[in-house]
Each structure stands twice: as structure tokens, then as C-alpha cells.
Amino acid sequence: MASAALSQSLFSTLNSHRTPENVSLSLHRSKTPAFIRQPLGPSRSRLLSAQSKKTQNNFIANCTPTGNESTTQETPIELRYPAFPAVMDINQIREILPHRFPFLLVDRVIEYTPGVSAVAIKNVTINDNFFPGHFPERPIMPGVLMVEAMAQVGGLVMLQPEVGGSRDNFFFAGIDKVRFRKPVIAGDTLVMRMTLTKLQKRFGIAKMEGKAYVGGEVVCEGEFLMAMGSE
């Protein structure tokens, strides 16, 4: 009993000397996380420094333009686009086709496989003789002339010894499934591809598929029938 009373007396004495400030300070210290109270060691400092540099480098990389964008900005626009290749120039075209001004509608051949296919271009300019009447206020290349230009490219494919065509008896015989997708205006470059799909030498008939493009978009397409004369 005496020892119990002594312990209770000592406990009461200790509690009486603890001030509210001491209690508050003790509670505050006990709630503080251990990792905050501990000073950073050398290894942890190096780790945080490396992470900070990595974050900074990623930010700089994301804000820096790519190499392609930089090259595009540095290269003047007049130097970015190469000219079409000249597989066949206008003089060579005139040796094959019988057409002449103002009805020769092919300026250059840029791809050519005799008797199989050809890709040619027509540079559409405001000086073309059809623009004053079609139309004075809105120059648009007539659709029938786009078809004629494509047929002339077909003539370049067919008027070859490999096929047996001759400019003396070669004619545009018909068209089918022709569609005009977009208007062609002054300043455009009409790119035309004509491909032989069927040849009947016995009857002198050739069937071709044609597509015309401006800026990579189809502006005209259809099926063409050519008459070359029978054997």
C-alpha cells in the first residue's frame, strides 16, 4: 500500500510540472514525420538533383521544335518542291501526237511505259485560249477539254510500235463513267494518268482507264475507248 501511494504521488507531481506549452510542443514533435526531421544525406541529395535535371531536360525537349520543322522553316518555299521529271518533252510529244496549237493539251510526260501507261502534265494558265469565254469572271477549264487532254495522254501510250497504233488511223472512240470531282482553274497543274486495261488488236479497239489530279486530289476520272484500226 505504501509503495502504491508513493508511485501515485510521484505521477501527480510530474503531471503538475507539465505546462500546456510543453504538452503542445510534445504533441507537435510526435506528429512530425521522421523523414522530415532527418537531414538529407549525400546520396539522397544527388538523387533529387538528378531527378530535377531530368525533368528540366524533358521540358526543354518538349518545347524545342523537331528537326523537320526547323528544316521547313529554314528552307525557302521556292526550294522545297522539285520540278517534275521530263521523261518526254514537248518536242518529243509533237513527234507522236498529230495535235497542234491551240489543241495540244499535253506539256510534259513524267512517267512512261509504251503500250502500258503514261503520266503527263498540263500546265493550266490564264493564257489558254478557252478562258476568255469559260468564264470571263471565273476561269475554269472546261470538262470536255480535261477529257480531251487525258485522251491525248492515252494516244501517247497507244501510238507505239509495241501496240501497233498509228497516228493515221487512231481516234478517240468513246467515254464512259466520266466524273468531274473538282473544278480546274488557271494556275493549276493537271496531272493525268492513263492506263491500258484491255486491247483487242483484231478489232482495233483499246480500253483505257484515266484519272486526272490537281494537288494529289482526283478532279476527273473515267473509262476511255480508243480506235486504232483493225488488222
Model pLDDT, residue 51: 58
pLDDT digits (tens, 9 = 90+) for 157-183: 988 876 666 667 788 899 999 999 999
Q: Kindly state the average pLDDT of the residues 133-162.
A: 92
Q: How confident is the model at residue 80 (pLDDT cuts 50, 70, 90)?
A: confident
Please state, in angstroms and rounded to a whole number, the distance separating the CA atoms of residues 205 and 227. Answer: 5
Q: Which one of 17, 28, 99, 134 is the catalytic residue?
A: 134
pLDDT tens column, 91-121: 999 999 999 999 999 999 999 998 899 999 9
Average pLDDT over residues 201-212: 91
Nearest to 186 by CA among 221, 130, 141, 137: 141
On average, the pLDDT of the chain sits at 78
Please give the domain boundaries of the chain with CATH numbers for all domains. 20-77 (no CATH), 90-227 (3.10.129.10)
Amino acid at 185: I
Quick check: is 28 catalytic?
no
How confident is the model at residue 228, as a pLDDT? 80
